[in-house]
Amino acid sequence: MDAQRTAPSYVHTEAVQAALAKHKERKMAVPMPSKRRSLVVQTSMDAYTPPDTSSGSEDEGSVQGDSQGTPTSSQGSINMEHWISQAIHGSTTSTTSSSSTQSGGSGAAHRLADVMAQTHIENHSAPPDVTTYTSEHSIQVERPQGSTARVAPKYGNAELMETGDGVPVSSRVSAKIQQLVNTLKRPKRPPLREFFVDDFEELLEVQQPDPNQPKPEGAQMLAMRGEQLGVVTNWPPSLEAALQRWGTISPKAPCLTTMDTNGKPLYILTYGKLWTRSMKVAYNILHKLGTKQEPMVRPGDRVTLVFPNNDPAAFMVAFYGCLLAEVVPVPIEVPLTRKDAGSQQIGFLLGSCGVTVALTSDACHKGLPKSPTGEIPQFKGWPKLLWFVTESKHLSKPPRDWFPHIKDANNDTAYIEYKTCKDGSVLGVTVTRIALLTHCQALTQACGYTEAETIVNVLDFKKDVGLWHGILTSVMNMMHVISIPYSLMKVNPLSWIQKVCQYKAKVACVKSRDMHWALVAHRDQRDINLSSLRMLIVADGANPWSISSCDAFLNVFQSKGLRQEVICPCASSPEALTVAIRRPTDDSNQPPGRGVLSMHGLTYGVIRVDSEEKLSVLTVQDVGLVMPGAIMCSVKPDGIPQLCKTDEIGELCVCAIATGTSYYGLSGMTKNTFEVFPMTSSGGPITEYPFIRTGLLGFIGPGGLVFVIGKMDGLMVVSGRRHNADDIVATALAVEPMKFVYRGRIAVFSVSVLHDERIVIVAEQRPDSTEEDSFQWMSRVLQAIDSIHQVGVYCLALVPANTLPKTPLGGIHLSETKQLFLEGSLHPCNVLMCPHTCVTNLPKPRQKQPEIGPASVMVGNLVSGKRIAQASGRDLGQIEDNDQARKHLPINFLFLSEVLQWRAQTTPDHVLYTLLNCRGTIANSLTCVQLHKRAEKIAVMLMERGHLQDGDHVALVYPPGIDLIAAFYGCLYAGCVPITVRPPHPQNIATTLPTVKMIVEVSRSACLMTTQLICKLLRSREAAAAVDIRTWPPVLDTDDLPKKRPAQIYKPSNPETLAYLDFSVSTTGMLAGVKMSHAATSAFCRSIKLQCELYPSREVAICLDPYCGLGFVLWCLCSVYSGHQSILIPPSELETNPALWLLAVSQYKVRDTFCSYSVMELCTKGLGSQTESLKARGLDLSRVRTCVVVAEERPRIALTQSFSKLFKDLGLHPRAVSTSLGCRVNLAICLQGTSGPDPTTVYVDMRALRHDRVRLVERGSPHSLPLMESGKILPGVRIIIANPETKGPLGDSHLGEIWVHSTHNASGYFTIYGDESLQSDHFNSRLSFGDTQTIWARTGYLGFLRRTELTDANGERHDALYVVGALDEAMELRGMRYHPIDIETSVIRAHKSITECAVFTWTNLLVVVVELDGSEQEALDLVPLVTNVVLEEHYLIVGVVVVVDIGVIPINSRGEKQRMHLRDGFLADQLDPIYVAYNM
């Protein structure tokens, strides 16, 4: 053990600064987040609340406070700011070797300007792949030069960045991500070891023990005995006896002097007064509460003591009153509001102790919160209490003959001290009367207390060291206590030193922070003389930073008479009371013990004295010897309490009378803590007496000196290594604390993410600090902790000054802070997450196995008895031959135009279409003959005014309604090919009109038909700003039609010719038009007619956009083919009247209805609270047989279920709701229809899906994902599941691409360039094995087939089709396939304020965009939660978190997210995000 004194200095700070200087060589770039202005302004001075005095904390003891005045720099290392700035800036000019140009002024040299410098990657046009963590390219940092114009950074040879689709963007954001990519260099991660990987079990990397890790080598330790507790003849038999003795023989002797906030003595309590008043309190508690027959309090009952910190005299009287009455005091803090941090837990403690009475002072009683009637409200979680004021004037005088019963100390409980655990729960430690007395005796002996000594106490007198010395031991020895209230310390930190001089005090009880404050405030006061002190008890001497305070304090005050041997650190715990204390000696030649220990060794629980590597060491001081009359040993912190070896860190355990005896009312926990029998290596206990765990980690060094290196509560085990929260706080504080951290308030705790502890640091920043300061500080803290502790920080959060929850004495309430962090209500103003560097236990990236050939797969399936996954709808041929169908529709019509003409002749007045307006009334309707006549007029107009030939393309730009239908049939009558196009949005022309223009151009439309209103819009000034309006094709307005009929109606010569074009924008942002032939169109209508049993007598309600896919077919085509009446409800009308669709369904007694997800969501959100009023309006959905959601995606099961639940009360049958599936190659593959089994739901393992496998699991099992069948396969449709790479057929329940063969497949893409290769693959694919003749169309969707137990209409077993997601949406990360929706679902669940989420990848970085519904202050709360949930549930590290306003994520008309548009917008910096966080 290194026993020489190190030069007094801030030991730790030196190490930290040295570590940082080393880091300067390899500068670490922290990408600064982008933050919206409003967020930056908010944290400025205006929002600064004046400091609530409270500084350092109670338990977390903050050391560095605000400097009150400038300390003299002549005193060596005291002037922290000066010293640190020298340490940092002294080396600046020499260390910027990495920068190519040197800017002037060394102070500014290391600002974040160069951390943020534009990074160049040599000859490397594609951004590097981050997930492999390689960086062979040298990265040069270039410094911005003065004010010279900068050239935009080039990325390798590319002048512009290209996004995935090859769209060039020039952007700030990409530069940031690029920089992030460069920052994520190879982290310190152990090499991946081989481990057995089951079929697709993702195994988390298990931290293997490091073969070179230090192991304890010493012999088994011996238990250490303290000196004999010598019984002095005049020691009293109990504490009450001592009080009685002094109160009667020296009633005038001063017992306690209290101070006011000016430092003037407020009140002197003498021993006589203490004795008589305590007796009065005892009498009143026992005789004046309740009735004579039923007293409220009996001896042995618990009562709580609620006294403020500035009134020790009232507390002392009440405490001794309780001892005399033999009731058990439970001292607690004064509750200030009903919702104090931790106050609820205190309430639980009082409840479990059965407390019904609270003793308090007059002033405190007046200050408690009151209800309007003047009652004190019941605090949250508290039992009902009677408040009893203990001031003498309120009490009755005890009768002459009443006298308290003073016994010798026994095993009855004397008092209960509360203790707050790591998780915030509060326990009560019971101390017996004999333990209380023995503890006072042991302290008297160890500290050499004598009668009438004066002691200055700065500590909290209600518990711990302050209570033991300042209230209990002092009375045993008739000492005089000068109590300094906390409020005085805040005004004048030197007050305790002044009182020591003024009263020539022999002893002072302080914490490190009181010494530190005195240093900061000390302005060379001449009249200070500390030579009277024989003992300065440092209550938190076991804290890692107390040594710095002790050294610095000694350094300054040695010249004022302070002797080195006077400083006496002690270690204590609520369970074991005083564990060890350094004895005051008269011999100044005996220097105190020091240990300079290797931090690396400590993380493995091993003691290694470190000399050569000065950076990562912990210097500890001894806390003296074991207490008189006690035995101490150290045991392994977890598992069986086995004795440690001499060079091993363990939990200190004590065996003595002077300790707590139990946790009140908790026998199990008591056994684990208070009844421990340490074992030797041979397995036997070392004594027959139980030991008590102190909760302190440490070791017993040479000469029996006790060293404490941390608390069990502050222990964080990160990948098998132990770190102490206090050590990390000390390191963080040593990084320019004065400049940045507000009053040294830092909280460090760990959260469990992905099966390991992760370190989180939360600090309050000074109100005047800038963004740049913050990030400068944060990056330095990361470097310092990395160098000194060799551990990564998972999250570093900064909050505005004074916002962390406080303990009663102003410290940081750790468990509440952690709680706020985890629930996302901490509201930080800056966050830096470093999951890339910290998380080293991710599963191994999946290596793609060489593909097994399709033949082997097929044989394998046959051998294992799995059928090949194929299924088909009913056969179209068989169904039609009944007479029923003949009556409705002659079978030989191949063309819709013929069907319409036939209906106009046979049933002219039958209504086909009814259009509703937003009030639910009929806006317009069409009979068969009206539609026929309008179509004829439009055909004439096309031929005469448009001069069109048959086969010309016509763009129909109409709002959803009747005109669109008439125009469509007009085109068919004229032999033209219609293309329906969504009209531009009048409020948003700039973004919607270009799409219209693009479709018109790509579809090669020869003419454009529309209404008069839209016609004007297309030529307006706004339109001219968005597109070139001179290049529109001729625009025909159909509001005034010619009065004549066409000479003849066009009849196509060949059913395979084009009927119409269907254009749609896919979710990946691709515009694709497909060709629908006349034959396919008729087959499509027929298939739907059969599946849904549609006849002229039926009514169907349609609330869909009529521009593409199944929505268009249902809106325009099906009624003409099947003759049923369609009730048309434009979805846009629901924005003004959300109940419109459901009211129409109810009013028209509709059995079948179709809607989109957007409509369903609008109803679920908009009508959620109105079901009662809708019921009253007569809304009845009990007739609905099928409610089909028309979709081209995986069914949104959560939405359909909540919709079904919500409207169940209005008669909606839960089985009625189902979905359909369409895609570009086939506009409807599945549709629920009327007959056939109900849709089924299965649960699959999400981890297996990532490996393209399907594993069914039970509902509710971990990682389960519910998938709903996408409706029944339509008649005439065949489906097979194929491997998208090898094109081989797959077995049942295998994930593959859905291929479809059907008469209503589209016949190909309509593209201007005729990209034939693309088309042939999608529309004419053949299997590579098995049935190689059939021509299939590839849907581009991954899914699987599963044979169910249900039977379908033909009595066969039913095959269900489940869709997992689109192939081109899927993201390949770490060799696995992820579907964005799964990650988004997890993220939306992470916080109540996240309303929507979209994810995409950029150069293998996962980018998560979340919409925030809440104040912008919540934006930063989301970053850690989003990162956590994606790690936990998907084993992925989020690279960038972008927080945006509601409505920023683009959604198409089908309600699908346009992730690629969002990605382009993000990269081009067009999102105006609230906050962008770059995870490191």
Tokens of 1088: 């739907």
Mean pLDDT of 1111-1120: 93
State how far the Cα of 1106 lies from the Cα of 1085, in Å rounded to an integer: 15
Tokens of 989: 């022309």
What's the pLDDT tens digit per position in 1326-1336? Answer: 888 888 888 99
What 3-state class would DSSP assign to 570?
A: strand
143 pLDDT band (50/70/90 cuts)? very low
DSSP string, 520-558: HH----TT---TT-SEEEETTTTSTTHHHHHHHHHHHHG
Mean pLDDT of 1094-1119: 92
Residue 815: how many other CB atoms lie within 10 Å: 20
Mean pLDDT of 881-901: 65
Secondary structure E strands in 733-782: 741-752, 757-765
Lowest mean pLDDT among 144-148, 255-259, 365-369, 1250-1254: 144-148
Residue 867: how many other CB atoms lie within 10 Å: 13
Residue type, 724: N
Confidence check: pLDDT of 97 > 50: no
H helix or E strand, kind and range, residue 599: helix 599-603
Please report the pLDDT score of residue 957 as a whole number: 94
State how far the Cα of 170 lies from the Cα of 57, in Å rounded to an integer: 50
1293 pLDDT band (50/70/90 cuts)? confident
738 pLDDT band (50/70/90 cuts)? low
1302 or 1454, which is more confident? 1302
What's the pLDDT tens digit per position in 1370-1422? Answer: 999 988 899 999 999 999 999 999 999 999 998 889 999 999 998 988 999 99
The radius of gyration of the chain's CA atoms, rounded to the nearest angstrom, is: 40
Please report the pLDDT score of residue 1325 as a whole number: 86
What's the pLDDT tens digit per position in 1060-1073? Answer: 999 987 767 678 88
Using the 8-state DSSP alphabet, how is residue 810 labeled? S
What's the pLDDT tens digit per position in 1425-1453? Answer: 999 999 999 999 999 999 999 999 988 77
C-alpha atoms less than 13 angstroms from C-alpha of 758 in its C-beta half-sphere? 27
What's the pLDDT tens digit per position in 939-972? Answer: 998 888 888 888 899 999 999 999 999 999 999 9
Mean pLDDT of 866-890: 62
989 or 354, which is more confident? 354
Please report the pLDDT score of residue 38 as a whole number: 65
Mean pLDDT of 1084-1113: 91
Please report the pLDDT score of residue 641 as a whole number: 93
What's the pLDDT tens digit per position in 522-543? Answer: 776 678 889 999 999 999 988 8
Mean pLDDT of 581-591: 76
Residue 1268 · residue 1195 · CB < 8 Å: yes
Percent of the chain with pLDDT over 70: 82
State how far the Cα of 621 lies from the Cα of 1092, in Å rounded to an integer: 84
Please report the pLDDT score of residue 723 as a whole number: 92
Mean pLDDT of 673-701: 92
Please report the pLDDT score of residue 74 as a whole number: 34
Q: List the 1337-1351 sheet strands across, edge first.
A: 870-872, 1277-1282, 1296-1302, 1337-1351, 1357-1366
Lowest mean pLDDT among 89-93, 747-751, 844-848: 89-93
What's the pLDDT tens digit per position in 183-223? Answer: 554 444 443 333 323 344 456 666 677 777 888 888 898 89
Mean pLDDT of 1281-1308: 88
Please report the pLDDT score of residue 135 as a whole number: 35
Using the 8-state DSSP alphabet, how is residue 187 labeled? -
Q: List the 795-800 sheet strands across, edge first.
A: 741-752, 757-765, 795-800, 830-833
Kindly report the pTM of this predicted structure.
0.81
Please report the pLDDT score of residue 848 as a whole number: 67
The bridge status of strand 1337-1351 relative to strand 1296-1302 is antiparallel
Nearest to 1100 by CA among 962, 914, 923, 932: 914
Please report the pLDDT score of residue 116 as a whole number: 34
100 pLDDT band (50/70/90 cuts)? very low
1351 pLDDT band (50/70/90 cuts)? confident
Using the 8-state DSSP alphabet, how is residue 985 labeled? P
Percent of the chain with pLDDT over 90: 45
What's the pLDDT tens digit per position in 744-758? Answer: 889 999 999 988 999
State how far the Cα of 1376 lies from the Cα of 1378, in Å rounded to an integer: 6
Mean pLDDT of 856-873: 72
Nearest to 1345 by CA among 1285, 1299, 1384, 1406: 1299
Confidence check: pLDDT of 1141 > 70: yes
Confidence check: pLDDT of 182 > 80: no
46 pLDDT band (50/70/90 cuts)? very low
Mean pLDDT of 842-847: 79
Contacts of residue 773, Cβ cutoff 8 Å, sequence gap at least 6: 739, 740, 765
Please report the pLDDT score of residue 1025 as a whole number: 85
Q: List the 662-663 sheet strands across, edge first.
A: 413-420, 426-432, 662-663
Q: Please report the sign of the dihedral spanned by the C-alpha atoms of residue 1168, residue 1174, residue 1176, residue 1180.
A: negative
Contacts of residue 750, Cβ cutoff 8 Å, sequence gap at least 6: 716, 718, 725, 757, 758, 759, 760
Please report the pLDDT score of residue 590 as a whole number: 66
Please report the pLDDT score of residue 1368 as a whole number: 85
708 pLDDT band (50/70/90 cuts)? very high
DSSP string, 248-259: HH-TTSEEEEEE
Please report the pLDDT score of residue 519 as a whole number: 84
Mean pLDDT of 877-882: 50
Q: Report the chain's mean pLDDT, rounded to a whole number.
A: 82
Nearest to 559 by CA among 584, 531, 596, 587: 531
What's the pLDDT tens digit per position in 1401-1412? Answer: 988 899 999 999
Helix axes 962-974, 896-906, angle to 10 degrees: 110
Residue 1033 · residue 1000 · CB < 8 Å: yes
Please report the pLDDT score of residue 339 as a whole number: 59
Residue 381: how many other CB atoms lie within 10 Å: 15
Residue 278: how many other CB atoms lie within 10 Å: 26
Confidence check: pLDDT of 230 > 90: no
Tokens of 342: 């931790």
Residue 601: how many other CB atoms lie within 10 Å: 21
DSSP string, 988-1024: -HHHHHHHHHHHHHHTTEEEEEE-HHHHHHHTSHHHH
Confidence check: pLDDT of 1013 > 70: yes
Residue 880 exposed, middle or buried by CB count within 10 Å (0-12, 13-18, 19+): middle
Mean pLDDT of 45-71: 38
Give residue 1236's region: left, alpha or beta (phi > 0; psi -120 to 50). Answer: left
CA 495 to each of CA 65, 482, 1286: distance values in angstroms, whole numbers, following the listed order:
16, 11, 83
State how far the Cα of 1212 lies from the Cα of 1204, in Å rounded to an integer: 7
Residue 1004 exposed, middle or buried by CB count within 10 Å (0-12, 13-18, 19+): middle
Mean pLDDT of 1233-1244: 83
State how far the Cα of 1051 lies from the Cα of 897, in Å rounded to an integer: 8
Residue 1423 · residue 1477 · CB < 8 Å: yes
1356 pLDDT band (50/70/90 cuts)? confident
State how far the Cα of 646 lies from the Cα of 216, in Å rounded to an integer: 8
